[in-house]
């Protein structure tokens, strides 16, 4: 069930943030092999221009990553769609998902718009405070925490899905242990110049099956906190 967002007039958009421009983005995503209509509808509905600086709002519906400050980015819409779609593969509908790296709050909002209970962790306090304001303005109940994303949020696990929105040379064991049997973990893995978007599915016996979705470029997954 899709969550009902509270959309103010500025969320509706005009000109380069209008519904027509958003629809063109959806067509580009379809052309690039995004097939899940639930995911496409969430991306069509969520006002991405509210998750970037006002000076970049006219570029919000380009299929590209954009800077959000602190050396971080809002991910390319195709990557957001691909990671989200992976959670729904094989007819699954995850009820509870952990996101590692809140950033602008856009990915968490896409998940919430799909009716998922979202837990999100961010190490940069300034980004998290801004994301929380966006969640509140949209009327979304997203649970968030200022903490080191590499340790996840174990007290609320296990999770049906885990999305990691920053790259690491290898998978973080602490995160895979918080994945429920039958759950899906999606994460960029590899050196900074050779990352791959991996999907891991946990079988009932706890073993992990891995698939490789695509080459990607993400900011690094760092430890520690920044206020």
pLDDT at residue 96 is higher than 60? yes
Tens of pLDDT along 110-123?
999 999 999 999 99
Tens of pLDDT along 160-187?
999 999 999 998 899 999 999 999 999 9
Q: How confident is the model at residue 192 (pLDDT cuts 50, 70, 90)?
A: confident
Tens of pLDDT along 6-56?
776 666 666 788 899 999 999 999 999 999 999 999 999 999 999 999 999
Architecture per CATH, domain 64-216, reads as 3-Layer(aba) Sandwich (3.40)
Q: Residue 92: its pLDDT value, please?
A: 84
pTM exceeds 0.75, yes or no: yes
From residue 13, how far is each of 17, 19, 193 by CA, in Å? 5, 7, 36
Q: How confident is the model at residue 206 (pLDDT cuts 50, 70, 90)?
A: confident
How far apart (Å, rounded) are the C-alpha atoms in residues 30 and 203?
A: 30
Residues whose CB falls within 8 Å of the CB of residue 150, separated by 6 or more in sequence, listed in order = 100, 168, 172, 174, 175, 221, 223
Q: Residue 102: its pLDDT value, please?
A: 98
Mean pLDDT of the chain: 93
Work out whether strand 143-146 and strand 159-164 pair parallel, antiparallel, or are unpaired.
unpaired
Q: Residue 150: its pLDDT value, please?
A: 95
How far apart (Å, rounded) are the C-alpha atoms in residues 201 and 195?
A: 19
Which amino acids are annotated catalytic? 75
Q: Residue 17: its pLDDT value, please?
A: 83
From residue 152, how far is each of 46, 91, 143, 157 by CA, in Å? 26, 26, 13, 9
> Where along the chain do its domains lie?
64-216
Work out whether strand 208-216 and strand 143-146 pair parallel, antiparallel, or are unpaired.
unpaired
How far apart (Å, rounded) are the C-alpha atoms in residues 166 and 219?
A: 5
């Amino acid at each position: 069930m899709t969550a009902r967002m509270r959309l103010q007039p500025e969320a509706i958009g005009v000109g380069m943030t209008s519904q027509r421009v958003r629809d063109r983005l959806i067509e580009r995503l379809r052309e690039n092999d995004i097939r899940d209509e639930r995911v496409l509808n969430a991306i069509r509905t969520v006002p991405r221009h509210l998750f970037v600086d006002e000076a970049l709002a006219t570029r919000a519906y380009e299929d590209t990553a954009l800077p959000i400050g602190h050396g971080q980015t809002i991910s390319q819409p195709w990557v957001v769609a691909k990671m989200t779609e992976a959670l729904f593969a094989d007819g699954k509908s995850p009820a509870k998902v952990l996101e590692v790296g809140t950033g602008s709050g856009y990915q968490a909002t896409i998940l919430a718009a799909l009716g998922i209970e979202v837990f999100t962790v961010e190490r940069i306090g300034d980004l998290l405070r801004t994301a929380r304001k966006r969640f509140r303005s949209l009327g979304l109940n997203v649970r968030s925490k200022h903490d080191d994303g590499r340790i996840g949020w174990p007290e609320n696990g296990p999770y049906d899905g885990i999305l990691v929105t920053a790259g690491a040379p290898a998978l973080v064991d602490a995160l895979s242990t918080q994945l429920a049997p039958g759950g899906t973990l999606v994460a960029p893995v590899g050196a900074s110049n050779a990352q791959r978007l991996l999907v891991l599915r946990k079988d009932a016996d706890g073993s992990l099956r891995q698939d490789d979705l695509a080459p990607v470029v993400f900011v690094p997954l760092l430890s520690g906190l920044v206020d």
